[in-house]
Structure 1
Amino acid sequence: MVAPRGLQPGHRGRTDRRRGADLRRVRPLAAPPTRRFGASPPGLRGRHGRVRRSHIATRGNRPMRRFASCLVLLHLVSACKHEPPPFVDEREPCAEQNPLRNLYFGDLHVHTSYSADANLAGVRVTPEDAYAFALGEPVYLPPQGPDGKGTVELRIDRPLDFAAVTDHAEFLGEIDICFDPDASGYDSETCALVRASDPDTFVRFGNALTKTPPERFPEICGADGKACPDAAKGAWRRVQEAAERFYDRTAACSFTTFVGYEWSASPNLSNLHRNVLFRSATVPNLPTSYFEATSAEDLWRALDADCGSLDGCDVLAIPHNPNWSNGNLFAPVATGDPTADAELAALRARLEPLVEIVQHKGDSECRNGLSGAVTAPDEACTFEKLRPDPVEDCGDGTGDRGMIGLGCVSRRDFYRGILMEGLEQARTLGRNPFAVGAIGSTDSHNGTPGAVSERGYVGHFGTLEDTPEDRLAFTARPEGIKNNPGGLVAVWAEANDREHLFDALRRREVYATSGPRIAVRMFAGTDLPADACDLPDAVARLDAAGVPMGGVLPDGAGPVQIFVQATADPGTNEAPGASLAQVQVVRGWIDEDGTPRIDVFDVAGQADHTPPDPDTCTVAAVGDRSLCTVWVDPEVDAGHTAFWYVRVLEVPTCRWSRYTCLSLPPEDRPAACDDPDVAWWIQERAVTSPIWTHAAAP
């Protein structure tokens, strides 16, 4: 037997496996049969785990029967909780729609040759190539051969359910001009250097975005700068065409694409970047870039105005890499006018319900040793940190130069600190602008959505990472061995189409993984069934009695119960997924004295730090394939200002750098392979969106 659809990981339709050339000409038309990935194995039971400051009711996952009742009722409940926008795209309805929601995996942060930095790193992968890669087709990466094409073939280990190409809006027109022989700026020296992937020109383009306002290149754009926005219209149209071509509008709903781009403000080398994602094919004529909007506030207003004027347009902005921002990406709203602050907080909360916390450039969940909430050191917070200790603490302030590994580090550069700042903002503004859910993605600059495998990792940034020596190099900047393969977005949605996925993103019923396809379900409430892990209709009852990840508890008091069910990534025949070590609940709250606090509770499984074999990477720890618990918070109830989110840890496995080192002859291995300060094993993970109390609500 398999778990009910609401708890079943990886449930989706089969993707079209035609060759890339065919996929680039037409979108999938056939309605393929259905397959299921990673159904929960029967008979697997979790182990009772070590507990910190808590009492838990934990039991292993038991076989769960497919339910047939309550669906009509639950559909009505779901509709009341998550009423979607009225606009519905013209398409066949998905044949499979589950009001209790299925789990889909994707990547919402992907760059191709349309992005200036990727292009200058020798990448020639197009948006069409990127979507074909997500479906299982190969791409060809640098170094380039005599024909100018990549020579390294790469395929994803398993197709994705959805993806978005999010090329940088800045320089979209410049790159188009530099590769169009009929364009007036094509023969400029700068364009010749772009086509040659000149390293100094790479730096020159990047530095242009560190100034406020940024300046265009007149030799490419003309003296008035108008040629580049005009050229960007053609590139933007092709971005939309690629997304449309690969969006499966048939009833099979096998693959979903989103139209999107990245806004890439980098003032003083502090990262303020956001990925902009549209709900439908109705989008503005041009993306809003840093040239048009030189602050986040300007971006929000532009998106609100431009999308609001189009029937059927809806949009989200998703900040990423707060670990690069020196505290600037989530700086508190402070105009000096309380009314203006509240209005801006409301706009931000509506447009930015998410943050990308894991990707190629590090993990941004948490970091030990920073000021702020009272909390104990968390050993799992050392995972994939881009900057080593010691670091300067920004305190309540901000800094600069984070994108090159300099300046101070802020507690607001990490998910926990952002969420805690949101609790403080809720008390002062009456609204929480930082009630953000968590997602992961790759930030691939190779056009390779979902290329997250630690084995066979070839980098994500063209010629900057096209050899093992480059990938294993120590550099002053946060790159080389400090990078990682990135993560994925996991979405609980009724169907695999734009509307349902987008609405799930907006309501934050999503989570981040560091790459593995770990399935995690979370509900919270004050009247959940204590034996939910044993019930065949658990999801129906939990959905009726509680709220899912990303939600807000009703106003009132009472002990908070949290249901968590986690299932290990099944992996592939060649690379089976690792087992789970433990499930943890992370709680942030404001106590009766007004002190911010963070606590971590082990609620299922047990900590196991037995490393894999260093010579073969054979996993040593045992772990569980599935864990389930209904945990009761021992001291914070629904009347507090608080949030809870779940972290699921796998057993230790080899980091990508260890696999790469082992692939080299011992005499050719660089110093990083034997450096004791370089982690050679990791614990992959999933981090969910929180559930908030009413007092902490967005």
Structure 2
Amino acid sequence: MVPSIMEEKLFRFVLPAALILGSPVLAQDAINPSGLSGPSGRPYSPYAERAYPTQVYFGDTHVHTGLSGDAGGGGTRLMPHDAYRFARGEEVVSNTGQPVKLSMPLDFFMITDHSDAMGAITDIIGGAPNILADEQGRYFHEEFNKGGEAALAAALELTAAFAQGQVSPALNYQPGNPAYARVWDDIIDAAEQYNDPGVFSTFIAYEWTSLVAGNNLHRNVIFRDGPELTRKILPYTTTPPVGSPNPRDLWKWLENYEQTTGGRVLAIPHNGNLSNGWMFPLVDDFADSVPLDPAYAEARNKWERLYEPTQIKGDGEAHPFLSPDDEFADFETWDYGNLDASVPKEPEMLPGEYARSGLLRGLSLEKALGVNPFKFGLGGASDTHTGLTAPDNDNFFGKFTGYEPSEERSQHVSKTYADGAVALLSSQYITGGLTAVWAQENSREAIWDAMHRRETYATTGPRMRVRMFGGFSFTEEDALRRDLALVGYTKGVPMGGDLDPGEGAPSFLVYALRDPMGANLDRIQIIKGWLDADGEQQEKVYDVAWSGSREPDGAGKLPSVGTTVDLSIPSWTNTIGASELGTVWEDPDFDPSESAFYYARVIEIPTPRWTAYDAVKFGINMPDGIQLTTQERAYTSPIWYSPQQ
């Protein structure tokens, strides 16, 4: 869709983000106590009687400190208190002795140290008697205390041993161990100490790290509650007989937590790209591959409201093999195999791994089971194991302590296959993403509630502001409104919502404002997935708003925005692209009998990647094949359409 002349006017100027995207909004049934209102029945002030989320908050939902075995073992000495201070904007000293600080503080933060072996790593490093009495314990104690490359290699070795079920019980602390409960109390205490509603919200959380023969099924468990409820339980693990690697058992644990405490909790899966097809299955891999049943669909729909498609271990929105017509699908793609590289990737695994294909599978399963198990919103995160959430390419502190800034970090072999062949290079790690949440206030409760209703979007790091609404009565003029939230909530539903059948085809009001300190925007796209009349999965990417005077060619392809990147600095200029983009787009291929989902993808102009900054800061020449530029992006949670039953 080519932007209209009226829309072009919108793109040429910028109002403050607080006015554009933070516009207070009014519920349709809000009462006007003064009686002073216009023909619409609303008060003159657009800021009066607001009843919808008006602010966007940025945070990290996935952070590991030195309390996680694979972090502490690899040399991470920053603990939860350090991570919280860094995230709220303080300068800290990194694990390798370097001063580090964020360009801007985060709004909310979740430390998600592993539940399995909670409390063990300090005993391993310190050489507790029970550890040294175990052969494997002595080995890891010695390797971790060597530091540097040896410690990093040992941390990766420990991860591989855990993935294959080869960690000694002496190291794999479980509930019932005094150290386990003590560390959980410490985690809760730290979250409470740094929780500052209105300024910086922290959450009590942990990671349930299911690894079935190396296939990644990790979930981050996020509580809405404070210490009075979360102290009543101990985190669930993946190790029998106390725990289980089966997600169904995790969901039962979540149900039990809510029933016994009256609290609220949800789980966020991540890194399907390392699951070898297990993340979005069509059959139950824990029950002889029988087809999924309604109980599975209902439980996953209830507990897993969000999915993490982008983080340090690659981007998992789409894959070029699955989406060959999507020119932006091959973004920071990791497809070497499962987490520990024990099984190489095969093409037939891919549909069970990526967010877009997972959403499509959800439509098919809903048709068969009556419930969509993969009806998830989107959020980004870091999965840092340094305690440092550093999502900017010019400030990247790596996945592990061994990959904190150094001349050598971009040229390591990170993972190998069983035959010694290279599976992953350290240069393929990417900066972590962020979760953006539309909420009424910066508080633990309001942010958790927004996540639960899926009013979120993922970014690959930049703090761009993105709104998306779906409805049946948006007009082109709505894209010109500066009270965007009022229009969106009055006429439609926000990202993460459901569209009931209406008159004609659905339309979508979408708007994006660049990161104030970041790059201009190239384009906004809407990705549609649907089931056709034969029940076959279909997808299409639509360019709906873009910068400049570009015109699609005869095949409908929009020309590249170009580049202004100067790798010698490195930097870029915002002389191309747009500071804001927005439009109303109506689905030209709509069939009211077909179930569908829609989400927006916002793409920046090219900018330097962290490897380019390393090249200049350390004065090194990067080997051929190392990627030096990137196009950062955001993905909104979908809006779903279901035909009238």
Band of TM-score, shorter chain:
0.7 to 0.9
- Are 2:530 and 1:592 equivalent residues in the alignment? no
Q: What is the aligned counterpart of 1:664 among 586, 608, 618?
A: 618
**Which stretch shifts more, 270-279 or 585-594?**
585-594
1:647 alignment partner, one of 588, 591, 601: 601
Matched residue type, 1:461: F
Q: Deviations over 1:180-215 (max 9, x none)?
A: 788754776257334445546424532332235x65
Q: Secondary structure at the match of 1:385?
A: coil
Output the CA distance in 1 between the equivalents of 2:60 and 2:146.
30
Match of 2:105 in 1: 159
Structure 2 spans left out of the alignment, 5+ residues:
32-48, 415-421, 548-559
Query: Distance between the aligned counterparts of 2:598 and 2:8, measured in 1?
Result: 18
**Alpha-carbon distance, 1:611 to partner:** 5.0
Structure 2: distance between partners of 1:226 and 1:564? 47
Rate the CA distance shift 1:555–1:186 in 2: closer, same or farther, 3 A.
farther
Correspondences of 1:71-470 after superposition (within 5 Å): 71=26, 73=28, 99-143=52-96, 151-178=97-124, 184-185=130-131, 189-190=138-139, 192-193=141-142, 194-197=144-147, 199=151, 201-211=154-164, 216-218=168-170, 220=171, 229-249=177-197, 253-281=198-226, 282-283=229-230, 284-291=232-239, 292-311=243-262, 313-334=263-284, 341-370=293-322, 376-387=324-335, 403=341, 406-408=344-346, 409-449=349-389, 451-470=390-409
- Equivalent runs, 1:522-533 vs 2, <5 Å: 522-533=468-479
**1:693 aligned residue:** 641
Do the aligned partners of residues 417 and 526 (structure 1) sit closer, same or farther apart at CA in structure 2, a change above 3 Å counting?
same
- Aligned to 2:204, the other structure's residue is in SS state strand
- Matching residue of 1:635: 589
Matched, 1:549 2:500: no
Q: Deviations over 1:481-511 (max 9, x none)?
A: 0101111000001111111111111111101
Q: Distance in 2 between matches of 1:403 and 1:307?
A: 37
TM-score (norm 1): 0.78
Tell me, in whole angstroms, the C-alpha distance in 1 between the residues paired with 2:519 and 2:120. Answer: 45
> By how many angstroms is 1:135 displaced?
1.0
Measure the CA separation in 2 of the matches of 1:456 and 1:58. 35
The Cα of 1:379 is off from its aligned counterpart by 1.6
Letter in 2 for 1:275: N
Q: Map of 1:460-499 to 2, 5 A cutoff?
A: 460-475=399-414, 476-499=422-445
| Aligned mates of 1:589, 1:117 — CA distance in 2 | 40
- Corresponding residue SS for 1:307: helix
Is the CA contact (8 Å cut-off) linking 1:511 and 1:688 kept in structure 2? yes
Pairwise CA distance, 1:581: 0.8
Query: Between the two proteins, what is the percent identity of the paired residues?
Result: 33
Amino acid at match of 2:188: Q
Cα-Cα RMSD: 3.1
Structure 1 residues 207 and 446, CA, compared in 2 at 3 Å: closer, same or farther?
A: same
Q: Deviations over 1:458-492 (max 9, x none)?
A: 32310244523123335424351010111100000
Matched residues in 2 for 1:359 and 1:530: separation?
Answer: 35
Name the CA shift for 1:191/1:616 in 2 (closer, same or farther; >3 Å): closer
Number of aligned positions between the proteins: 586
The aligned amino acid for 2:118 is L
Comparing 622-631 with 262-271, greater Cα deviation is found at: 262-271
SS across alignment from 1:60: helix
Q: 1:178–1:185: 8 Å Cα contact kept in structure 2?
A: yes
Q: Are the structure 2 counterparts of residues 97 and 275 from structure 1 closer, same or farther at C-alpha, using a change threshold of 3 Å? A: farther
The change in CA–CA distance for 1:111 and 1:57 in structure 2 (over 3 A counts) is same
Read off the aligned partner of 2:377 and give its amino acid letter: G
For 2:413 and 2:140, the matched residues in 1 are separated by: 31
Query: Please, which moves more after superposition, 515-524 or 283-292?
Result: 283-292
Conserved? CA contact 1:323–1:414, under 8 Å: yes
8 Å CA contact 1:277–1:316 kept in 2: the answer is: yes
1:125-149 deviation per Cα after TM superposition (whole angstroms, max 9, x unaligned)? 0101101001111232233xxxxxx
Q: How big is the shift at 1:387?
A: 3.5
Rounded Cα–Cα distance in structure 1 between residues aligned with 2:532 and 2:493: 23
Take 2:8 and 2:367, find their aligned partners in 1: how far apart are those partners? 35
1:346-367 deviations in whole A, cap 9, x for unaligned? 1111110111011111100111
What displacement does 1:75 show?
Answer: 6.5
Indicate whether 1:580 and 2:521 are aligned.
Answer: yes
Larger relative contact order (Cα-Cα within 8 Å, sequence gap ≥ 6): 1
- Structure 2: distance between partners of 1:348 and 1:259: 21
1 CA distance for matches of 2:371 and 2:27? 34
* TM-score normalised according to structure 2 size: 0.84
- CA distance in 1: counterparts of 2:196 and 2:644, whole angstroms: 39
Contact 1:553–1:638 at 8 Å: present in 2 too?
Answer: no
Distance 1:502 1:639, change over 3 A: farther
Q: Secondary structure at the match of 2:451?
A: helix
The superposition leaves residues 28-57 of structure 1 with CA deviations (integer Å, 9 ceiling, x where unpaired) of xxxxxxxxxxxxxxxxxxxx8589xxx997
Distance in 2 between residues matched to 1:400 and 1:566, nearest whole Å:
35
Using the TM superposition, name which of 182-191 and 456-465 deviates more: 182-191
Mark the CA change 1:426 to 1:157 in structure 2 (over 3 Å): closer, same or farther.
same
Distance in 2, Cα, partners of 1:634 & 1:134: 44
Cα separation, 1, equivalents of 2:599 and 2:23: 30
Residues 204-232 of structure 1: CA distance to partner in whole angstroms, max 9, x if unpaired? Answer: 532332235x65433x57xxx77873311
Question: Deviation digits for residues 143-168 of structure 1, max 9, x if unmatched?
Answer: 3xxxxxxx112111100000000011
Check whether the contact 1:176–1:231 (CA below 8 A) recurs between aligned residues.
no
Instruction: Give the secondary structure class of the aligned counterpart of 1:381.
Output: coil
Name the amino acid aligned to 1:259. I
Q: What is residue 557 of structure 2 aligned with on the other side?
A: none
Q: Measure the CA separation in 2 of the matches of 1:662 and 1:228.
A: 51
